[in-house]
A and B are shown apart, each in its own frame.
Chain A
Amino acid sequence: MKKVVLLSLSAICAIAVQAQTKINSYTFGAKEARWLGPGTMSGRITAIEGVANDGKTLYIGTAGGGIWKSTNAGASFKPIFDKYCMSIGCIAVDQSNPATVFAGTGESNMRNSVSIGDGLYMSSDAGDNWTKVGLDSTEHIAKIAIDPQNSQNIFVAVPGPLWSDSKHRGLYKSTDGGKTWNKILYVNEKTGCADVLVDPSDPQTIFASMWEFRRFPYAFSSGGKSSGMYKSTDGGRTWKEIKEGLPAKPFGRIAMALAPSAPKNMLAIVESKETGLYISSDGGETWKSQSATMNVVSRPFYFSCLVVDPKDPKRVYRPGYGFSYSDDGGHSFSDASYEGGWVHSDHHALWINPKYTNQMYLGTDGGVYHSLDRGATWMFAYNLPVGQFYHVACDNKTPYNMYGGLQDNGSWMAPSEAPGGVNNSNWTSLYGGDGFWTVPDGADNNVAYAESQGGNIGRIDLKNFKSVDVAPQKVAGDEKLRWNWNTPIVVGQSNKHNLYTGAQYLYKTTNQGRTWNKISGDLTTNDKKKQQQEESGGLSEDNTSAENHCTIFTICESPLDENIVWVGTDDGNLQVTFDGGKTWTNCAKNCAAAGIANQAWVSSIEASLYDKNTAYATFDNHMYGDMATYLAVTHDGGKTWQRINSTEFTGFAHKIKEDVKNRNLLFLGTERGLFCTIDGGESWFRMKNHVPDYSIVRDIQIQPQTNDLVFATHGRGIMVINDISSIRAITKDIADKEVYVFEHPPMPITTGKYGGGGSPVSGGWWGGNPDDIAPIEYYLKDRANEDVKVEIYDANKNLVQSFPGSKRKGLNRVYWNMRMKPPKTATGGTKADYGSFIAPMVLPGNYVVKVKVGEKEYTTPLKMVHDESNKLFNEDDRKTQFDAGMKIYHMHEELAALVDKINTDQKMIKTALDSTVGAKSKKWLNDYYNKLEELRNTLLASKHKSIFADEKKLREEITELYSAVVNVESRPSNLQLQKLDVLTDDLKKGKDSYEKIDGEYKAAAPKVISDGKGNKGTQRVGGQ
């Protein structure tokens, strides 16, 4: 028995040991994602809160990009919530102690694509650190209201889950500053709290609106008898429902506002059979209907924002489909001007600086706007990269382009790199509406395809961006075509001329949509109960194709055989054909046998690059209230499936991607994270490589030429992890080593990919570039507590360069500038000379990288090669450049030695002067000193100190030529080489002058110098 226990113990300890060398995100932490953004079109903003006392600290809550903070009124923003849920419902700052900030996760603009929250968070240090303080199962939080007279009292409106019944809905209250929570208003499992107001003049008076609502994958319902408006006058202990003057029930969503400067004045937009604006002047006891514009009353489930100016009770703002404002307490409204530029439609948040109410910030479906004239005109914040991409695709150009479609922000493309780095101006708009699949043609570099919601597909000429509608049409014998909100447009992986799309039927074209072939029957369940979209919306009709159902949602042609095509639908069917569409097999039951939920959306299928019968698939069942991560694989063409699971997984699954070179490397994108396996799915880890922990990852691609991992997030734009080769290369054996220096492919010697310079782009979002030069990579099992140094040796074992190495746990990447150590340059003068920071590029050849970690050394060979991509700079040019560069290098060192001699002499002359009394001797010494000084002044700039006054002497002339010759990829010009000769002569003249002075004065020194006591020649001068 004892033996069994010991065995068990050793097994447990083995797990512990293995845990120490586990490969996870930290192993590759140095491979940080670039955030490409863009900021050109931002994403949906759900909450804006500012600090009243300073008017410049802002917190921006987003639909899928976390929280961004500005401390400069929006000049710049930083993400401050990247370790937590990306979907933000609301934010509140305790204005009596602005370091206290609350964030409710789970957006409450209950559209089809809304994400899910995981509770309420609190920060006590203005957003630096966050703690979850409860309401974990609420999924959606709409509003937080803090009692302005006692900030221990906090009210939180919780609509609760969108896709299921829940007891977690209702209005919650804390009386201890957020530590504990009690539900103080609850109606039933279908009815949540959509809004809460606290009367600032009497914080015992609370208003709440309750909302009955529910979504299904194929329908939405806003409204029911359980919705209503409530008032409490005892801090939420007891409630009465307000009815007087309001319309007949049922109600849908109710948005409420009160005037902070006169709180008896209230407004409400009440969704009902005839949705309208209601006004109260007696603290909500009675209401009167008020006529209102379409913008004021439109789409109440989505536009729930209504705000009264903090100082002026008559000034009312209605951010909705557009932006409306009233100067008469809501009796009439005007719309904002587009004088300052178009303001994106669909508004959800407004913060007015209470100290200066002209200043306000508006949150829309397309980002943040800023007004300084009470909302009449607006300026866009181009620096928030919170776009909500659905998909991303890449072409094969150099550099490659990224293509993607955004929720409510159209379809776009941009290069993956650009001189100066990718910025907003590099993005080009391709198509309007909501954007989804945006794909380049597989064979024609000048064509791409994009769509708007519900299957409106366009073929775009990339030379002039004109588009042609190419969506397949219903023809005789077809049922009405059912297009998903997010209709797939997919290029063949095996035959790049193939293009697919799908309604309930699968369509294929081989001529860019000029001729379509229907290659399947109805591949969905065709369940008529799920096709009543015209009835969708509840009290307010809402049928925007978002609820279209029984449609094809994903398509994948095998990269190994164009006759193998996999299709997934939004109602649980996973179909495959092995004969180009002649016959189809439904794998739904086989998937169910593996534990996949029956009607789950098939969100992605990945046919393996390595085996025709292997395919991976992700499934999304969240629209039935099931948030599980479903991932499965088949190795027999769909007959049997095995579910792949991991305790690491969070969020329903959107995309599985197999690596293009390593079949065991897979990436999974879910609603709550990016995950990776390097062992074919046995173990997984969350990617945190400058990727927010719970990013909403909707699509993943690997660009085969660059090996870049490109992924589309639904709230943080497009992200790219450049060159994942080292992720492929890592093995468990390597991970067990203390230190490992990777082998590097031959490294082209270059100054970098791009020149440029000049003034940087002001404002906007900057997504940077990939590495300009190739890095040297090594692995450290643990963070180094010793000195780490990287040394480069040439083939003759001469040290070429050395520099400090990084010390992080896992992969380290350091950059050798491919140059030698810079020369010693002449010291002194009035300005610093930068020649001592410049060195020639090394010549092609064999080198050795030595990584020194403490006393230990690890080496790897490194072959440096001429950069063949630069056709204007051949190897002979390089050699000529190197030889010239080295001549100038040595000139600098010779000049430095000469100036050192002068400096030494002058120092000794000064010493001699101190102990010399004879006037004649003093004069002689002064003359000697001045002769040297005169010479020195020809060698170094020594007159002008201002950086605006150029003064060029020999050192500066040498540096100017040196820089011009060695800092470029070019053969030196004839005149540069002639200049080199001129400077060589000048240097020789300088040396000769020194020798002359030295000879003249040093010989005479013993005769002339006197110490005043009759001793001659006791002071020795000169540098001998």
Chain B
Amino acid sequence: MRTIKIAIMAAAVACVSSFSTFAQTAEEVIKKHIDAIGGEAAWKKVNSIKMEGSINYSGTEVPVTVYMKHKKAMKAEFSYAGMTGYTILTDKAGWVYLPFGGQTKPEPMTEDDVKKSQEDLDVQGKLIDYKAKGFTVTFLGKDDVEGTECFKIKVVSPAKKEETMYFDATNFYHIRSTSKVDMNGKEVEMTQTYSNFKKLPEGIVWAMNQDSGNGPMTVKSVEINKTIEDAVFAPKN
């Protein structure tokens, strides 16, 4: 009888242990995440991305196109009612153009904003070679995102920008980020949510649904390493 009890206890312990094997480190979680989204090698080959999709506002689809050239430039362009607005950030400057309310010419970003935003030009993502890039990471245990158990990691950039990233504990996809941004002396909290992960022909995994608080965006196509002319990043109206 004693043997049975021990066996049951052992089984119970094994079962319980399987629920609590999350003695993870930030490094381990990030490695599993990178493996889950295609691996470091595949991501290191990414030099440009063109993503097309749309944001749904009350049933109206607003087309969005995002162009990114690794460490050089990015542009998010959206069109509505025959007008096209954009945000452009390059390694030297940036502009915002929103003609929908009557803006007549692109407004340049402040030098400080351009400087602080440079890390956004890393199309391979901050977690690829994060140590070499100067990011520090802290494992903050488990937390839930709308009921989904996640690993929570705080990432601090060399420019001291902080982002808290949530990785789905079952598949290690990055499903949410929260960050606080200092906007001209004001602290603004931002949340980005990712879902609908698809593997692209290049081997990397991409979130086909993204939401940065402006409405859910559905990604229709992603082109990797196709030539993007520099002229795309010139401010025009």
Interface residue ranges, A against B (CB under 8 Å): 1, 4-5, 8-9, 12-13, 15-16, 25-27, 29-30, 71-72, 125, 128-129, 782-787, 801-804, 807-810, 817, 819-822, 825-833, 836-837, 839, 944-947
Contacts and interface: CB of A to CB of B under 8 A. Distances in A.
Given A26-B144, A817-B58, A831-B100, A783 B81 contact: no
Given A26-B147, A832-B80, A833-B81, 20 more contacts: A1-B3, A8-B7, A12-B8, A15-B15, A29-B146, A30-B146, A125-B162, A783-B175, A785-B173, A785-B197, A808-B146, A808-B147, A808-B148, A817-B58, A822-B58, A832-B81, A832-B101, A836-B60, A837-B58, A839-B58
B213 interface: no
A831 B101 contact: yes
12 contacts: A125-B154, A128-B154, A785-B195, A786-B196, A803-B58, A819-B59, A822-B60, A826-B82, A827-B81, A827-B83, A830-B102, A836-B60
B68 to A, nearest CB: 23
Interface of B: 3-4, 7-8, 11-12, 15, 19, 56-60, 80-83, 99-104, 140, 144-148, 154, 162, 164, 168, 171, 173, 175, 186-187, 195-197, 208-209, 216, 218
B146 A825 contact: no
Nearest to B209: A787
Given A8-B8, A808-B146, A832 B83 contact: yes
Which of the listed residues B104, B171, B216 has the most CB atoms from chain A within 10 Å of its own CB? B216
A9 B11 contact: yes
Contact of B59 (A125, A803, A810): A803
Contact of A5 (B4, B15, B171): B4
Contacts of B4: 1, 4-5, 8
A783 B169 CA distance: 12
A783 B168 CA distance: 10
Nearest to A947: B102
Contact of B81 (A9, A784, A836, A944): A836
B4 to A, nearest CB: 5
A1015 to B, nearest CB: 33
Contact of B147 (A12, A29, A129): A29
A71 B185 CA distance: 10
A810 B147 contact: yes
Contact of B209 (A804, A821, A826, A828): A804
B59 A785 contact: no
A945 B12 CA distance: 72
A13 B146 contact: no
A821 B57 CA distance: 10
Given A782-B148, A802-B59, A822-B59, A72 B186 contact: yes
Contacts of A810: 146-147
Of A785, A804, A830, A946, most buried by chain B (CB within 10 Å of CB) is A785
B8 A809 contact: no
A129 B140 contact: yes
B15 A785 contact: no
Contacts of B147: 25-27, 29, 783, 808-810
A18 to B, nearest CB: 12
A73 B224 CA distance: 47
A5 B14 CA distance: 13
Contacts of B196: 784-787
Nearest to A900: B82
B7 A5 contact: yes
Nearest to B81: A832
A13 B19 CA distance: 12
Given A72-B186, A808-B146, A831-B100, A128 B56 contact: no
A831 B102 contact: yes
B105 to A, nearest CB: 10
Contacts of B154: 125, 128-129
B58 A5 contact: no
B59 A783 contact: no
A787 B217 CA distance: 11
Contacts of B209: 787, 804, 807
A784 B186 CA distance: 35
A832 B100 contact: yes
Contacts of A9: 11
B56 to A, nearest CB: 5
A220 B89 CA distance: 66
- A-B pairs, top 8 by smallest CB distance, nearest first, are A827-B82, A26-B147, A809-B147, A808-B146, A832-B100, A828-B82, A783-B148, A804-B216
Contacts of B56: 803-804
Contacts of B8: 5, 8, 12
Nearest to A955: B81
Contact of B218 (A804, A809, A839): A804
B35 to A, nearest CB: 17
A9 B146 CA distance: 32
Contacts of B100: 831-832
A808 B147 CA distance: 7
Given A12-B12, A822-B59, A787 B81 contact: no
Contact of B82 (A29, A782, A829, A946): A829
A820 B59 CA distance: 8
B60 A946 contact: no
A5 B5 CA distance: 9
Contacts of A833: 81
Nearest to A27: B147
A804 B208 CA distance: 12
A825 B99 CA distance: 17
B208 A785 contact: no
B11 A5 contact: yes
A945 B104 contact: yes
A698 B8 CA distance: 42
Nearest to B82: A827
A916 to B, nearest CB: 26
Nearest to A124: B138
Contacts of A817: 58-59
A785 B171 CA distance: 10
A825 B186 CA distance: 38
Contacts of A29: 146-147
Contacts of A831: 100-102
A12 B59 contact: no
A15 B18 CA distance: 13
A333 to B, nearest CB: 38
A72 B145 CA distance: 28
Contacts of B187: 71-72
Nearest to A945: B102
A71 B181 CA distance: 12
Centre residue among A4, A804, A825 by max chain B CB count within 10 A: A804
A807 B195 contact: yes
B76 to A, nearest CB: 17
A16 B15 contact: yes
A784 B146 CA distance: 12
A803 B62 CA distance: 12
Contacts of B3: 1
Contacts of A71: 187
A105 to B, nearest CB: 19
Contacts of A829: 81-82
Contacts of A784: 195-196
A809 B102 contact: no
Given A8-B8, A785-B196, A807-B195, A13 B15 contact: yes
Contacts of B145: 783
Nearest to B196: A787
Given A12-B12, A12-B15, A125-B162, A787 B208 contact: yes
A833 B101 CA distance: 10
Contacts of B175: 783
A30 B99 CA distance: 36
A694 B3 CA distance: 42
A738 to B, nearest CB: 15
Nearest to B3: A1
B218 A821 contact: no
B151 to A, nearest CB: 13
B148 A128 contact: no
A73 to B, nearest CB: 12
